[in-house]
């Protein structure tokens, strides 16, 4: 007997918009551009890729490609997708990290 599996899709496990916001917030804290692109793809599938494509003016195929694990969306595409998702980026003070190049330079000065 052969085991049949389906690809895992995070979008199927988002219950509501609050889950989506928490998911994106967690992703943004990782400072990983590829992960952000993937997360925007997940949120776009959650909301409906066709609707997001229509709102952004980018084809569905173009969005799938740009927001895939190997995609590299432009900042314009990221902002356009966020807008289509009724989201926006906000800037805030980052929590200080215990190590890192900037902190090491500050201590040396």
Could you tell me the domains of the chain? 10-88 (1.10.260)
pTM of the model: 0.77
pLDDT of residue 102: 55
What is the spatial distance between Cα 102 and Cα 23, in angstroms, rounded to a whole number? 28
Please classify residue 58 by burial: count the beta carbons closer than 10 Å to its beta carbon, then call 0-12 exposed, 13-18 middle and 19+ buried: buried
Tell whether the torsion through CA atoms of 79, 81, 83 and 88 is positive or negative: negative
Question: Is residue 81 within 8 Å of 47, Cβ to Cβ?
Answer: no
* Each residue's pLDDT expressed in tens, for the chain with a length of 109 residues: 889 998 888 888 899 999 999 999 999 989 899 999 999 999 999 999 999 999 999 999 999 999 987 889 999 999 999 999 999 988 888 776 665 555 555 555 4
């Amino acid at each position: 007997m052969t085991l049949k599996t389906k690809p895992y899709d995070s979008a199927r496990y988002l219950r509501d918009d609050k889950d989506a916001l928490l998911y994106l917030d967690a992703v943004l804290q990782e400072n990983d551009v590829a992960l952000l692109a993937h997360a925007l793809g997940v949120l776009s599938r959650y909301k409906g890729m066709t609707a997001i494509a229509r709102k952004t003016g980018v084809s569905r195929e173009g969005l799938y490609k740009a927001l895939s694990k190997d995609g590299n969306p432009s900042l314009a595409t990221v902002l356009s997708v966020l807008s289509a998702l009724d989201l926006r980026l906000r800037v805030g003070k980052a929590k200080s990290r215990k190590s890192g190049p900037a902190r090491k330079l500050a201590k040396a000065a």
